[in-house]
Amino acid sequence: MQQDLIYDISNLECQYIPGTTVLRIPELQIPKGKLVFVLGVSGIGKSTFIETLGLMNKTIHVTPETSIKFNNGNELEEIKNIWSRDNKALSKFRNDHFSFIFQNTNLMPNFSAGENMCISMLIEGKELAEVKEKVLEVMEKLNLDPDLYDRKIQELSGGQRQRLAFVRAIIAGFNVLFGDEPTGNLDRDTGHKLMRTLKENLAEFNRTGIIVSHDIDLALSFADIILLLSKKGEGDNVHGTFDSQYYLIKEDGEWKRKDGKPLADPLSLVSEILTR
């Protein structure tokens, strides 16, 4: 059973400033091969969640009870103390297992569109011809003109840049793709094409996607699992948290709670949490 998980988490506290908890996860299991959406009000800790799991920021408050186990392909490895490793080892771990896409595309302005999309795979030692073929294949799925491959980044629209960043992220070798509002600059139809392409990729390679979004329609349409973060505490002690009753699973096209109870109106539940 555990080998079917990508993360097995218990007693996780996330802090940017020592002593100030911004997000608490009492218990959470994330299965492999699923598209997971993380929803919640602004400032609740959604970005903190993926920064922590993706090792983008040193936010793990380690206690004897803390456990963050990650499936590295061979075993569930305890990584709660991973920030004690040197920078080279941390970078290797991220590069071996993770890929990222953000609303801010982080494309390199001095590189062409094609160079931006290919660079991560070229660094891994792949041949340019092989990488370019994969890039053009994904570009076609996203209705990106192949002529854009040789264009300068400055010549592209915001939506085109967003899709290029997605291509770069999805062709890389990864176990988990983290996305922070990856469709934020896209219209509805284009955002849906991007999500369909991502779901195909995850299914083909048994990979996991963890997406932060404010888009309820996108989540209900494409997620396999929705995690709803909620507020807990009062005054200066307010922080985000995750309660297992807000772990929603889609099975055979129907939304259910983690205990298997069907949700007649998932939209109302999600909307309620997002307005608290």
Question: CA-CA distance, 80 to 124, in Å (whole number)?
Answer: 27
DSSP-assigned letters across all residues of 18-84: TTEEEEEEEEEEEETT-EEEEE-STTSSHHHHHHHHTTSS--EE--TT-EEEEE-SSSEEE-TTGGG
Task: Split the chain (276 residues) into runs of 10 and give each run's mean pLDDT.
Answer: 86 95 97 97 94 97 97 94 96 94 87 93 88 93 92 92 92 94 90 95 96 94 96 84 94 92 91 82
Q: What per-residue confidence (pLDDT) applies to 237?
A: 81
Tokens of 26: 């009492």
Burial class of residue 261 in the structure, from the number of CB atoms within 10 Å of its CB (0-12 exposed, 13-18 middle, 19+ buried): exposed
Q: What per-residue confidence (pLDDT) applies to 10?
A: 98
The CATH number assigned to the domain with range 2-274 reads: 3.40.50.300
Question: What residues does each domain of the chain span?
Answer: 2-274
Tokens of 217: 């329609």
Tokens of 188: 């509805």
Q: What per-residue confidence (pLDDT) applies to 226?
A: 98
Q: What per-residue confidence (pLDDT) applies to 272?
A: 87
Question: pLDDT for 15-50, tens place per residue?
Answer: 999 999 999 999 999 999 999 999 999 999 999 999
Q: Which strand (E) or helix (H) includes residue 8? A: strand 5-17
Question: pLDDT for 226-264, tens place per residue?
Answer: 999 998 888 778 899 999 999 999 999 999 999 889 998
Question: CA-CA distance, 221 to 241, in Å (whole number)?
Answer: 24
Q: What per-residue confidence (pLDDT) applies to 213?
A: 93
Axis crossing angle, helix 158-171 with helix 113-123, rounded to the nearest 10? 20
Q: What per-residue confidence (pLDDT) applies to 2?
A: 64
